[in-house]
């Protein structure tokens, strides 16, 4: 009898363990699907937004949009493949906050009918040994699967990629584990970019700290510069068309703001319209001064956009 009870108990344990494994696998799959869905931006959900660029940026962005249109993209990939050249497209958008790097990536995706797989850099960091490397490897594996299963290849977006494309550290026997992990992640990304068959866009504010190995691997580099006075006038007119023309000209000449900063001011003005009915000229000027004080110095290059 004791033997039967023992066998019965063991059988229950085995069944419970198998049930646990099944549920664990399903929960893990569901968690992964939810995470993938959260990081996937469908092109038809991206709202159109008028962007303002300087002449050089306009030409470079238009060329990139043309290249990534599905018909041209397939022809170019075919041609490069026949010549034994790498057919992945890697793009680096540089410039200070407010220069339109991220928004441009989204608008390019919308115009070319491509979904975006957005990478949250913070989610790739882990204190556990080997975990950061595993996460980065998984990101590229998921992207390859998405490219293979999609009629139109999506865009892999590394937003604010400063931390993962910075100069690699010189490792010594006494180097910290976290330094070794960071170098390991960077080496994986370098190799994945080398073998990329798809489209990667990375945005960064800190090009001076970028590792030369990454610099060589980006095929297209677009620098988003400060808008000129005429460009600032267009931005003011588009975002706050109710302002008098002469005031717009004055603000454009007096304050060297980014489009992102002007958008912040426009949002405050619209909030004031609800709360108090209007924004006084003194308040508007103060909003401009606040943005100048909190923004970049006049010596730095800045432009327009959300990021």
Residue 69 pLDDT: 95
- Tell me what percent of the residues of the chain surpass a pLDDT of 70: 76
Residue 287 pLDDT: 95
In the predicted structure, residue 285 carries a pLDDT above the cut 90: yes
In the predicted structure, residue 34 carries a pLDDT above the cut 50: no
Q: Of 12-16, 53-57, 80-84, 267-271, where does the model show the most confidence?
A: 267-271
Residue whose pair of structure tokens reads 């009898």 in the numeric block: 1
- Tell me what percent of the residues of the chain surpass a pLDDT of 90: 53
CATH class of 39-223: alpha beta
Per-residue pLDDT of 173-205, as tens digits, reads 444 555 566 777 888 999 999 999 999 999 988
In the predicted structure, residue 64 carries a pLDDT above the cut 90: yes
> Do 200 and 276 form a contact (C-beta atoms < 8 A)?
no
Work out the average pLDDT over 135-139.
91
For 109-125, b where at least 16 C-beta lie within 10 A, e where not — what string? Answer: bbbbebbbbbbeeeebb
> Which of 19-23, 152-156, 160-164 comes out lowest in average pLDDT?
19-23
Domain spans in the chain, listed from the N-terminal domain onward: 39-223, 229-294
Nearest in space to 229 (alpha carbons), one of 210, 203, 248: 248
pTM comes to 0.75
Residue 183 pLDDT: 76
Per-residue pLDDT of 252-262, as tens digits, reads 999 999 999 99
In the predicted structure, residue 25 carries a pLDDT above the cut 60: no
Residue 1 pLDDT: 54
Exposed / middle / buried, residue 305 (Cβ in 10 Å: 0-12, 13-18, 19+)? buried
The chain-wide mean pLDDT, for the chain, equals 82
> Do 294 and 300 form a contact (C-beta atoms < 8 A)?
no
In the predicted structure, residue 241 carries a pLDDT above the cut 90: yes
In the predicted structure, residue 131 carries a pLDDT above the cut 90: no
């Amino acid at each position: 009898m004791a033997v039967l009870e023992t066998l019965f108990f063991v059988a229950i344990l085995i069944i419970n363990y198998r049930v646990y494994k099944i549920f664990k696998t399903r929960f893990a799959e569901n968690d992964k699907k939810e995470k993938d869905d959260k990081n996937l931006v469908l092109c038809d959900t991206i709202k159109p937004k008028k962007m303002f660029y300087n002449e050089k940026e306009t030409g470079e962005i238009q060329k990139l949009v043309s290249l990534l249109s599905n018909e041209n993209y397939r022809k170019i990939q075919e041609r490069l493949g026949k010549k034994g050249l790498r057919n992945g497209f890697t793009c680096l958008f540089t410039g200070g906050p407010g220069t339109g790097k991220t928004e441009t990536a989204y608008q390019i995706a919308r115009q070319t009918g491509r979904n975006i797989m957005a990478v949250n850099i913070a989610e790739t960091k882990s204190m556990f040994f080997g975990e950061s490397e595993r996460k980065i490897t998984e990101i590229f594996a998921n992207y390859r699967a998405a490219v293979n299963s999609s009629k139109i290849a999506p865009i892999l977006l590394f937003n604010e990629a400063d931390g993962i494309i910075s100069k690699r550290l010189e490792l010594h026997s006494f180097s910290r584990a976290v330094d070794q992990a960071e170098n390991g992640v960077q080496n994986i990304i370098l190799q994945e970019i080398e073998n990329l068959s798809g489209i990667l866009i990375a945005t960064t504010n800190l090009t001076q700290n970028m590792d030369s190995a990454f610099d060589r691997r980006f095929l297209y580099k677009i620098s988003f510069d400060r808008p000129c006075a005429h460009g600032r006038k267009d931005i003011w007119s588009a975002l706050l068309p109710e302002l008098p023309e002469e005031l717009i000209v004055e603000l454009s000449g007096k304050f060297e703001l980014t489009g992102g900063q002007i958008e912040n001011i426009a949002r405050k003005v619209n909030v004031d319209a609800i709360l108090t009915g209007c924004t006084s000229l003194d308040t508007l000027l103060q909003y401009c001064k606040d943005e100048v004080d909190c923004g970049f110095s006049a010596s730095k290059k800045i432009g327009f956009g959300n990021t």
